Amino acid sequence: MRLPFSGGTNLQPDRSVNRTRIQIKSKGLMVAKELTILLGGSAGQGLQSMGQVLSRALSRLGLHVFALQDYESRIRGGHAFFQLRTAGQRLDAHVDTVNILVALDEQTLLIHEKELAPDGIILYDSDKIKTEYSGKKYLPLKLSTISREQGGSSAMANTVALGAVWSIMGLALEVVEEVLQSFFGAKSAEIVEKNIQVARVGFQLGAEKRSPVFALQPPGGKKRLVISGTEATGLGAIAADVRFYSAYPMTPATGVMEFIMDHSKDYGIVVEQAEDEISAINMALAASYMGVRSMVGTSGGGFSLMVEGLGLGGILELPLVIFEAQRPGPATGLPTRTEQSDLLFAVFASQSEFPRVVLAPWTPESSFSLTAEAFNLADRLQTPVIILSDHHLASSYWTVDDLPSAAVSVDRGALASAKELGSGSEYLRYRLTETGASPRAWPGQGSALVVSSGDEHDESGHVTEDPVLRTAMVDKRWKKLELAGTDPGLEADLQKGADTVLIGWGSTYGALREAVDRKRAQGEKISFIQIYRLWPFPAAELQKRVAGHARIVVAENNSIGQLARLIRMETGLTVDQNVLKYDGRPFSVDRIFKSLTQGVRA
């Protein structure tokens, strides 16, 4: 199967620790090893479009990019920004210092000016910002006026700014023009031409009013994909041969439904926007009952409504993949922000007891591969599998060399034989087996009569209240967890002689990984563990990996240290320091580094 923008080699990210943002003055320029650009304004001003064009253009020059989005829960207005970090090596997180600040409104300037580096530049729209700011760091441009005069609409003010930013970085504009052509090409040739024209004017004005400030030196060579966590999850589902996807739109999970819908005709996928989350999960369960690989997407509030359906999937032993992209709650909470507060909920949701698997991706590559693996686990274990993502992972962008599509295989688990499906044989949907997984059939296959019930049932699927059978069926369901395989459930980068081990899960990975690299670059010894299979919890593996470390630090985006509690419950290990953040924003590298250095909360 050929996937959209995927080639099929397994990525091994560059773990270089040489991330120092050294800037050396050379002929009036600042030679930058990396830059952070923050584009700020209000919703509706085209920040995402500008950010994506910048990201793709930098990627085409061989540079790596990491970009995050921050926006309020409204269509227009409110403060929003797109923060992009670029360098010659792999990036997985953002930093606090901004080198180029683009302010399309005054609120952006007031909020983010304090983040500017000493040699940074503030480019602002002097049409929108009437206050006069003087000083070397300010570059006022009449972005709205130029956009109207050159493009016929003030809506292209962001593209004018894009051209000016490109000149400030000392880069040739041709690659931006190429990206604008591909980015707007589906709309019309006129729109493409106008955007290119206003970008050229912005580039020229930036060069005239402020000669290039930063000599960003692209390495050239390989062009990389620019992809979000959402797109990688959708691609993983497509690679796994998903055939039915249902959801009620809920940020930040909606993007997966939209992505799969965009490619549904090419891959024969039915996508259903349900009237609510209860309907969404029941539709997916029904599709699974008929033998279709099925997936449902939601966030925490919607998952709350799906819990009864989750239990139904557990007792019916139906394969189902649930994409749960976390956001702050409870109730509506902060719909467009990030948090990691649904961990214990995902692990223990639904009344009574039944097996499930909870996986937590941490990069686009892992979003792709864990999503694909979730379908195989769901089929082998005949039980729901939850992919626990979050807003930060879903909505951020990375450059990646490729996605590991060649490693994806389809495993449908135990299926009924021709003999079991033939006439004269009684098909036992819940036959007690050595592995706990019963050979599966679905209605319409051969002469098999497939009987299932949400009540406790016997091997044939008929309702029973027999205590012996009840015990046998509960034991049967739990035994299936052994089919989850020998995957360790975590990645460990242990340093011999290290006193401290830092543990994380999900989207905090990038900030934790780089903070550890910084500490090691200073000569300190520290180990790092990323847990990605959160249930069944890899207790024995974790105990083995942390042995010999005197201090355990866990960093996560919630208020009570849910992973730390799970670790203690499953292993008896006590966490020495919880680094917690629950304001709806992700960790930066700098804040994790500070916490490791000072031993205080971020």
Q: Mean pLDDT in each 10-residue stretch from start to end of the chain (602 residues)? A: 45 40 45 89 91 96 96 88 96 97 95 95 94 90 94 90 94 95 91 95 90 80 91 98 98 98 98 98 98 98 98 98 98 97 97 97 98 98 98 98 93 94 88 97 92 97 98 98 94 97 98 98 97 97 97 98 98 97 98 82 40
pLDDT given at position 601: 40
Q: Which token pair is 397?
A: 């962008």
Rg over alpha carbons for the chain, rounded to the nearest Å, is: 26
pLDDT given at position 15: 44
Max Cα–Cα distance, the chain, nearest Å: 89
pLDDT given at position 576: 96
351 secondary structure, DSSP code: S
Q: How long a stretch of residues is the chain?
A: 602
Residues 6+ apart with CB under 8 A from 279: 246, 248
pLDDT given at position 125: 95
Q: Find residue 124's DSSP bridge partners.
A: 103, 140
Give dist(CA 322, CA 310) in Å, integer.
Answer: 9
Residue 516, burial from CB neighbour count under 10 angstroms (0-12, 13-18, 19+): buried
Give dist(CA 43, CA 70) in Å, integer.
Answer: 10
126 secondary structure, DSSP code: T
pLDDT given at position 215: 77
Q: Which token pair is 507?
A: 């989207």
H and E: helices and strands count for the chain: 20, 22
Give dist(CA 455, CA 316) in Å, integer.
Answer: 9
Output the CA torsion 363→276→338→331 (10° steps): -150
**Nearest CA among 343, 392, 338, 341 for reference residue 66:** 392
Q: Are 595 and 601 within 8 A, CB to CB? A: yes
Give dist(CA 581, CA 560) in Å, integer.
Answer: 10
Q: Which residue, chain included where needed, has tokens 């691609």?
A: 235
Q: Are 469 and 458 within 8 A, CB to CB? A: yes
Which amino acid is it at 370?
A: L
Give dist(CA 289, CA 69) in Å, integer.
Answer: 38
In 380-461, the DSSP E strands lie at: 384-390, 397-400
What Å distances lie between residue 356 and 113, 540, 566, CA to CA?
47, 19, 16
Residues 6+ apart with CB under 8 A from 325: 252, 253, 256, 297, 298, 299, 389, 390, 391, 393, 394
Which amino acid is it at 162?
A: L
Give dist(CA 21, CA 2) in Å, integer.
Answer: 39
Residue 380 CB neighbours (<10 A): 21
Residue 8, burial from CB neighbour count under 10 angstroms (0-12, 13-18, 19+): middle
Alpha helices in 219-276 (DSSP H): 229-239, 254-262, 264-267
Q: Are 524 and 17 within 8 A, CB to CB? A: no
Domains in the chain with CATH codes: 33-223 (3.40.920.10), 227-407 (3.40.50.970), 490-598 (3.40.50.920)
pLDDT given at position 30: 61
Give dist(CA 302, CA 310) in Å, integer.
Answer: 12
Output the CA torsion 387→392→393→396 (10° steps): 150
486 secondary structure, DSSP code: S
Give dist(CA 56, CA 510) in Å, integer.
Answer: 20
**Nearest CA among 306, 291, 309 for reference residue 244:** 291
Cα angle vertex 192, ends 159, 180, to 5°? 55
